[in-house]
Amino acid sequence: MGRIGNIINRKGKQDAKRGAIFTKHARAITVAAKEGGADPEYNATLKTAIDKAKADNMPNDNINRAVAKGAGAGAGEDYFANTYEGYGPGGVAVIVETLTDNKNRTAGNVRYYFDKNGGNLGTTGCVGFMFDRKGQILIEEADGITEDQLMDDALEAGADDIITEDGGFEVITTPEDFMAVRDALKEKGYDFLSADVKLVPQTITVLSEEGQVKFMERLIDALEDDDDVQNVYHNWEQE
């Protein structure tokens, strides 16, 4: 199916879970405002968190409440960032980033999801070396967008590479250049399927057994449904 197709498919499923997605965005915004200040012009982490929330159509009132909570009202509420690494069915590499107010609860839940769905939770670093942190901008194929023009615009803005896939384009940047490239492409009128600094797998694992595919889908769904889980990265690609 390819990475673009996978993202489109996942976003379709997530539309039905919009309330849970808003909860995750609110938590990320609150933490960003608490740690770096409430002005997104001077807090790049907060600006990115707000942009991601808006991309998922989170109402401005919800965003403003989350910022205010981080700036003051939520001062007594502490969240902790933790990363878990493990293997899904068929040896798929999985990394889970969490933001939680109860580390024991989250650790237990994440381990349960892996165990129940044919995987196993590993130690820190067991799969992290298989991913690179990069800026990734996905642009869906549409009338008026050509590979040559997008490549010229992206490279001029400072992108490292452009990958053409079935269904769209993937713009790759360094983490440091991500915001400049994203803003430059946005100003030129490009719409993004997603835009974020992510862990991008160096290699891809394809599952051929139907049972393994079902377990992998359930594992991702279970992790994404958990309010404490912010991001799920893996190197599985559907055929």
The full set of domain ranges for the chain reads 3-73, 80-129+203-234, 131-201
> What CATH architecture does domain 131-201 belong to?
2-Layer Sandwich (3.30)
Please tell me the least confidently modeled range out of 10-14, 64-68, 89-93.
10-14
Domain 80-129+203-234 in CATH 3.30.70.980:
yes
User: Residue 12 pLDDT more than 60?
Assistant: no
Residue 23 near residue 227, CB atoms below 8 Å: yes
User: Residue 18 pLDDT more than 80?
Assistant: no
**Same topology between domain 80-129+203-234 and domain 131-201:** yes
The 3-state secondary structure of the chain reads CCHHHHHHHHHHHHHHHHHHHHHHHHHHHHHHHHHHCCCCCCCHHHHHHHHHHHHCCCCHHHHHHHHHHHHHHCCCCCCEEEEEEEECHHHCEEEEEEEECCHHHHHHHHHHHHHHCCCEECCCCCCHHHEEEEEEEEEECCCCCCHHHHHHHHHHHCCCEEEEECCEEEEEECCCCHHHHHHHHHHCCCCCCEEEEEEEECCCECCCCHHHHHHHHHHHHHHHHCCCEEEEEECECCC
Structure tokens at 43: 């807090």
Q: Which amino acid is at 221?
A: D
Q: How confident is the model at residue 15 (pLDDT cuts 50, 70, 90)?
A: low
Q: How confident is the model at residue 212 (pLDDT cuts 50, 70, 90)?
A: very high
Structure tokens at 53: 């929330």
Please tell me the least confidently modeled range out of 15-24, 40-49, 99-108, 165-174.
15-24
pLDDT of amino acid 71: 86
Using only C-alpha atoms, what is the Rg of the chain?
Answer: 18
Average pLDDT for 98-110:
96
Determine the Cα–Cα distance for residues 93 and 220; give it in Å rounded to an integer.
Answer: 12
Average confidence score pLDDT of the chain: 90
Average pLDDT for 139-167:
92
Residue 141 near residue 167, CB atoms below 8 Å: yes
Burial 99-136 (b: 16+ CB within 10 A, else e): bbeeeeebbebbeebbeebbbebbeeeebeebbeebbb
Q: How confident is the model at residue 44 (pLDDT cuts 50, 70, 90)?
A: confident
User: Residue 190 pLDDT more than 70?
Assistant: yes
* Topology classification of domain 3-73: Arc Repressor Mutant, subunit A (1.10.10)
pLDDT of amino acid 56: 85
Average pLDDT for 50-74:
88
